[in-house]
Amino acid sequence: MLANVIIILIIFLGVIFGIRGFLKRASVDCCCNGSYVASEKYKKSSSYKSKVTMKIIRMKCKNCSARIDRALNEIDGVWAKANYKNGIVKLLLQENAFVMKSKIISSVTDAGYDVVYFELE
């Protein structure tokens, strides 16, 4: 009888923790719920011709900024660093900014975000 009580208690606790975890993930108003891990990629800024600032909407956490960093840094000739606190992405480009603009914006859009403005510094 004691064994049955212990088994029921273990099952009950498992269900409670499972529901708690599900509700925690469901309540986060974010795109990725922590599924992306930031990876930093360093490049020398002296080899870049253009500096660009972009404003991104719906970037709400570190994982969102890591997702945008990853999407943009996969483009050859681009170094990007996103800041989720202010929604700003700083870019260094090896080519003319206007040549790469459509490719950059489509990468951000494909990652699930929207570009509000694209400004050459």
> What are the tens digits of pLDDT across the range 53-80?
999 998 888 899 999 999 999 998 899 9
Contacts (Cβ under 8 Å, ≥6 apart) of 72? 78, 80, 82, 89, 91, 104, 107, 108
53 in the same domain as 6: no
Task: State the Cα–Cα distance between residues 72 and 76, nearest whole angstrom.
Answer: 9
Average pLDDT over the chain reads 82
Q: Which two tokens stand for residue 24?
A: 């925690």
What angle do the packed helices 97-110 and 62-73 form, to 10 degrees? Answer: 130
Percent of the chain with pLDDT over 90: 38
Q: Tell whether the model's pLDDT for residue 38 goes beyond 60.
A: no
17 in the same domain as 61: no
* Counted domains in the chain: 2
In-domain check, residue 37: no
Task: State the Cα–Cα distance between residues 61 and 67, nearest whole angstrom.
Answer: 10
- Give the domain extent around 86: 45-120
112 in the same domain as 87: yes
22 in the same domain as 54: no
Work out the pLDDT band at 121, boundaries 50, 70, 90. Answer: confident
81 in the same domain as 25: no
